[in-house]
Amino acid sequence: MRKITAGLFISLDGVIEDPQNWHFPYFTDEMGAAVDAQLGQSDTLLLGRKTYDSFAGAWPERELAGEEDAAMGKALGDARKIVVSNQELEFTWRNSELLKGDLIEAVTALKNEPGATDIALSGSVSVVRQLLEAGLLDELHLLVHPIAVRKGARLFEESDAPLPLRMISSTAFRSGVVHQVYALADSAPTGTYEDAKVHLPQDDQ
């Protein structure tokens, strides 16, 4: 079964909206390598319509321009791109198709298809939320920026039920960005102050 990974730029206060307004000053070689490993090396991309429209409006031209980002443009263009939308769409970017049917059923079937790489998401927050709730997202890659944006949509919406996660890895970049990778946990840990207080420094006297 193929894994699904999602990559998001996120601020210290949890904002994921309009990262183009605040994350570029932190984009370094280390971040570029992380984005390429999670997104650029994938042969299949799963994208929400807004993210797809943003990508399709920029990356084909960047590929044709032949500048520093042309290789990423070609990689994204060559990948199979599956777009989640309730509307019929006309595609001009090569290798693009509409996800057919119910999201959860279709993604479950997609995970069972053969493929050489993980299936990657970038942005597409509504899709990420739904796949997390359904237990279909295998890895959540958060590039946490050392800035509090203080306005805009956040990754996690309010809910009565917690969403337990476990950390797979955490890597601090020289820019101050921290690349955190999470997977869903089976359950949230339990405990009380009585359990916690034994871990406080003890008075030896």
Domains recognised in the chain with CATH numbers: 4-199 (3.40.430.10)
pTM exceeding the 0.85 threshold for the entire prediction: yes
Provide the pLDDT for residue 198.
92
Task: Read off the tokens for 75.
Answer: 């990689």
CA nearest 127: which of 51, 29, 39?
51
Residues making up the chain, counted from first to last: 205
Q: What is the pLDDT along the chain (205 residues), one digit of tens a residue?
A: 999 999 999 999 999 999 999 999 999 999 999 999 999 999 999 999 999 999 999 999 999 999 999 999 999 999 999 999 988 888 999 999 999 999 999 999 999 999 999 999 999 999 999 999 999 999 999 999 999 999 999 999 998 989 999 999 999 999 999 999 999 999 989 999 999 999 999 877 5
- As a whole number of angstroms, the distance between CA 98 and CA 13 comes to 33
**How far apart are alpha carbons 136 and 106 in whole angstroms?**
11
